Amino acid sequence: MRWTPQRQVVVNVLAASDGHLTGADLVERCRAADAQVIPSTVYRTLDVLEEFGLVRHAHGAGGQEEYHIQPATPHGHRYCDRCGRHWNIEPSSREARAIANAFRGDDFAVDLSHVVIVGRCATCRAATGA
């Protein structure tokens, strides 16, 4: 892979980011920094960075691909479909163990980084009475 100024922009934008970004968010931020950056450059660079373990992809509540910047550990996500808040499901949590145990008898290992649970948080349930 040839190193270009546009790929450097992708790396710089990622280095200045924290948490989760969709590919579209990243393309937008890169294009704001350099209008010459095209989406295919962003996605190809993400593929290479994922091979090196610098980013990980997962899926958001709506199914869109999200990228985790320098993730310490793979983790899942819980999303409230009303207010949009989200929480990580950490590998050592009670929730992660319950998910893994639910499939263990099927001789199946869950990839927690691809677990997305959508529901309602306690605040929204209380506000709607549901």
**Does 97 lie in the same domain as 52?**
no
**Does 93 lie in the same domain as 47?**
no
Count the domains in the chain. 2
Q: Kindly give the residue spans of alpha helices, DSSP state H, lying in 1-130.
A: 5-15, 23-33, 39-51, 94-104, 122-128
Q: What is the pLDDT of residue 43?
A: 94
Q: What is the pLDDT of residue 70?
A: 67
**Does 83 lie in the same domain as 61?**
no
- The low-confidence residues of the chain, meaning pLDDT below 50, are none
Report how far residue 59's alpha carbon sits from residue 48's, in angstroms, rounded to the nearest whole number: 18
Domain boundary pick from 69, 88, 118: 69
Q: What is the pLDDT of residue 41?
A: 94
* pTM above threshold 0.85: no
Write out the residue range of the structural domain in which residue 109 sits: 76-128
102: CATH: 3.30.1490
**Which residues face 57 on adjacent strands?**
67
Q: What is the pLDDT of residue 33?
A: 96
**Does 12 lie in the same domain as 57?**
yes
Q: What is the pLDDT of residue 9?
A: 95
